[in-house]
Amino acid sequence: MTNEPTSSASNGGIRTPGGAILMDGNRLRDEIVAELAATITAAGSPPVCLATVLVGDDGPSQRYVRNKHVQAAKAGMLSRNEVLPADAGQSRVEEVVAALAADPSVHGILVQSPLPTGYDEEAVLTLIPADKDVDGLTSESMGRLVRGLPGLVGCTPLGVMRLLERYGVATSGRRAVVVGRSMLVGLPLSLLLARKGVDATVTIAHSRTNDLEGLCREADIVVGAVGQAGLITAAHVKPGATVIDVGISRTEAGIVGDVDFDAVQAVAGHITPMPGGTGPMTIACLLENTLTAARLQGAFPS
């Protein structure tokens, strides 16, 4: 079997050969970017600016940053890209980030991770004000999420929530298992799924979880977010469950996810492809966060 769709689904999705509804992140990204562009135009096109900081010449990081700026332009946003050599040094990187933090014309700041070996990434992130933290990674942003206060949420977790909303996946009273406990995805996503109004019952699983297969098989929503290729198999999924693939592994065959797509799509009710699922949504929600950041700073009408 392949990732090729076969037929339409009633909620606007398409079905995989096995019958699962494919949760198309590329399609939803384009919808969100178009909505952002329309919102900015309707407000008279005030400047909304995203700034990225790229340190070093890592190929994948360069591509990620380039894609972010391409989509920002489609959304009608301004963008800046501060590029520094790998040997720029901690103080120079901090100087650049501090200048962006102090610049009122910059509404969102993203430091492309990971920084090259030898840098103190946490010290750099600490310089980003919570209202400009469009990656949702600072301690203050995480604290706001935990306490349910207004703020900026990690782009990938937010992207997962947008996919669930777009494809009409019920969450209230449903059981969700998030496999992975990173600060980038697993923990914030668990909080979003459990928060009032979403109301899922969430279990965080990890490398020391006993009987992962059995645990996942009880869930209505399964999220793979550990970066272990093919971890989630058909045996982990109860018929009709929603399966979200966040993990990324680079293999000789190309990019693969935590989910054994071909096997799982024959069992699941909804499934994300890899690539083309949660990755595009991360960029879409980065731009959504940038507009939210401008509103938090009073630079865009609420």
> Which token pair is 66?
């380039």
3-state secondary structure of 232: strand
The string of DSSP codes covering 166-188 is: HTT---TT-EEEEE---TTTHHH
Which residue in 76, 78, 68, 60 sits closest to 110, CA to CA?
Answer: 68
Upstream peptide bond of 188 is cis (omega within 30 degrees of 0): no
- Asked whether residue 141 is domain-assigned, the answer is no
- Asked whether residue 2 is domain-assigned, the answer is no
- For 132-191, the pLDDT digits (tens) are 999 999 999 999 999 999 999 999 999 999 999 999 999 999 999 999 999 999 999 999
pLDDT at 10 over 60: no
Residues 185 and 268 in one domain: yes
Rounded Cα distance between 265 and 136, Å, is 31
Residues 158 and 125 in one domain: no
* pTM (predicted TM-score): 0.94
Query: What pLDDT, on the 0 to 100 scale, is given for residue 302?
Result: 87
- Asked whether residue 261 is domain-assigned, the answer is yes
- Asked whether residue 29 is domain-assigned, the answer is no
Residues 124 and 173 in one domain: no
- Asked whether residue 99 is domain-assigned, the answer is yes
The amino acid sitting at 257 is G
Residues 217 and 274 in one domain: yes
Residues 120 and 177 in one domain: no
Alpha helices in 148-277 (DSSP H): 155-166, 186-194, 212-217, 261-264
Paired residues of 83 in beta bridges: 54
Upstream peptide bond of 157 is cis (omega within 30 degrees of 0): no
The amino acid sitting at 148 is G
Non-local (6+) Cβ contacts of 225 within 8 A are 178, 179, 180, 182, 185, 186, 189, 246, 247, 258
Calculate the alpha carbon distances from 63 to 78, 145, 261 in Å. Answer: 18, 29, 25
Rounded Cα distance between 185 and 61, Å, is 18
Rounded Cα distance between 64 and 282, Å, is 10
- Asked whether residue 136 is domain-assigned, the answer is no
pLDDT higher at 74 or 302: 74
pLDDT at 9 over 90: no
- Asked whether residue 10 is domain-assigned, the answer is no
Are 189 and 223 spatial neighbours (Cβ–Cβ below 8 Å)?
Answer: yes
- Asked whether residue 243 is domain-assigned, the answer is yes
Positions marked catalytic = 68, 112, 135
Residues 110 and 167 in one domain: no
- For 251-261, the pLDDT digits (tens) are 887 889 999 99
- Structurally, how many domains does the chain consist of? 2
Are 259 and 226 spatial neighbours (Cβ–Cβ below 8 Å)?
Answer: no
Paired residues of 15 in beta bridges: 7, 21
The CA dihedral of 64, 70, 72, 78, to the nearest 10 degrees, is: 110
For the domain that residue 102 is a member of, what is the CATH number? Answer: 3.40.50.10860
> Which token pair is 54?
């790229």
For the domain that residue 202 is a member of, what is the CATH number? Answer: 3.40.50.720
3-state secondary structure of 240: coil
- For 223-281, the pLDDT digits (tens) are 999 999 999 999 999 999 999 999 998 888 788 999 999 999 999 999 999 999 999 99
Query: What pLDDT, on the 0 to 100 scale, is given for residue 105?
Result: 98
The string of DSSP codes covering 63-132 is: HHHHHHHHHHHHTT-EEEEEEE-TTS-HHHHHHHHHHHHH-TT--EEEE-SSPPTT--HHHHHTTS-GGG
Residues 200 and 93 in one domain: no
Q: Please state the φ and ψ torsions of residue 7, each to the nearest 5 degrees.
A: -150, 165
Range of the domain at 98: 44-129
69, 94, 129 — which closes off a domain?
A: 129
